[in-house]
Amino acid sequence: MGWKKHPENRREQRDEQTRAFLKTLSSGQLNNFKITAACLEEICEKTPEDVYYSAEDIKWFIGFFLYADRNFDGSVSLSELTKTLESLEDKDSAKKDAKKAKEDAKELMDFFNTLDISGDAKLSLAEWIIIGFFGEDRKDNYRGAIRVELE
């Protein structure tokens, strides 16, 4: 159980291993691992010490992905994501005007394309969680996180 006593050493070791792997990727030896490279880059981003996410939030985000994967192929297409969001919309909000619907569709497509690192028009669970959940929240100054006061 020594790993619990020294979390800072574990983080340094993980970061060092990740940087070594990224160096290998960037050297062109493993060009087909775009998703892995992007996820590892996101994992290496420094997270403030006071940022935490609830297990319920993470489970909800994963559950949404699994629910959206309507054909059970382990990935989510833009069509699957759109249909899932439409099925969850409140009936009153479904009566929005055409301009608002077009804006929402563009925003969803932009979000999807940001996450689709591989460019295969499908989101893997790694793209969804690491790039979508953690990466997008980091870019949004951790608005979705719980900020804990440290001693």
The answer to whether the beta carbons of residues 108 and 85 sit under 8 Å apart is: yes
The list of the chain residues with pLDDT below 70 reads 1-8, 24-32, 90-96
Q: What is residue 73's predicted lDDT score, i.e. its pLDDT?
A: 95
Q: What CA–CA distance (Å, rounded) separates 83 from 10?
A: 41
Q: What is residue 15's predicted lDDT score, i.e. its pLDDT?
A: 81
Chain mean position to CA 66: 14
The structural domains of the chain, ordered by start, are: 50-147 (1.10.238.10)
What is the value of pTM for the model shown? 0.72
Task: Note the helical H segments in 27-149.
Answer: 34-44, 55-68, 78-88, 98-115, 125-126, 136-139
Q: What is residue 31's predicted lDDT score, i.e. its pLDDT?
A: 41
Q: What is residue 1's predicted lDDT score, i.e. its pLDDT?
A: 44
Q: What CA–CA distance (Å, rounded) separates 48 from 141?
A: 10
Q: What is residue 25's predicted lDDT score, i.e. its pLDDT?
A: 59
Q: What is residue 2's predicted lDDT score, i.e. its pLDDT?
A: 47
Q: What is residue 29's predicted lDDT score, i.e. its pLDDT?
A: 46
| Burial (CB count <10 Å: 0-12, 13-18, 19+), residue 31 | exposed
Q: What CA–CA distance (Å, rounded) separates 28 from 43?
A: 20
